[in-house]
A and B are shown apart, each in its own frame.
Chain A
């Protein structure tokens, strides 16, 4: 089955540690996205990538980094510079940037 996967489902880290969230898709989509979702805040875009080896900052990119070395993969690193990293992180992909997005199951990150 085609789809988009995120791992792990739950992640716990100590403050000051970098952590990388995985996102893989086998939908052959060119565009991929990372969102952060906090209660009452809706979806906020962190980074997006229209094509391999290219990505752009979204609205809240500070303290995060990404790479897009393969079409299928778009990992997100939450660095120690992110002041409030505890959140639910969602990865999505779409055929192009104008089409509907397909989301992964999400990773809930807790930093203490």
Chain B
């Protein structure tokens, strides 16, 4: 149980285009989803927290107009990187939890490797 999937696993795009990454909870309802970015030297940075049906809460320094997050249902959240540039190349990971479980653990997706040319 508690499986989270991400799609695509890998994407290469041209500079200036937009890329959408999906995060799905497969066997539970995710009231809260988190989006992280992992840099090449391994540190994991929380970008935003999204609750179903409401606007995402972005961490300081994260551009909300560039990283659009939608959590339209209890099983799906999407991250759209708009007008992507090479510096947006990174490993993006989502996690999900359900009401009351954030106290315990988050369940992570397998990640999406974004490369912007």
- Tell whether A and B belong to one assembly: no
Interface residues of chain B, those whose CB is within 8 Å of chain A, are none
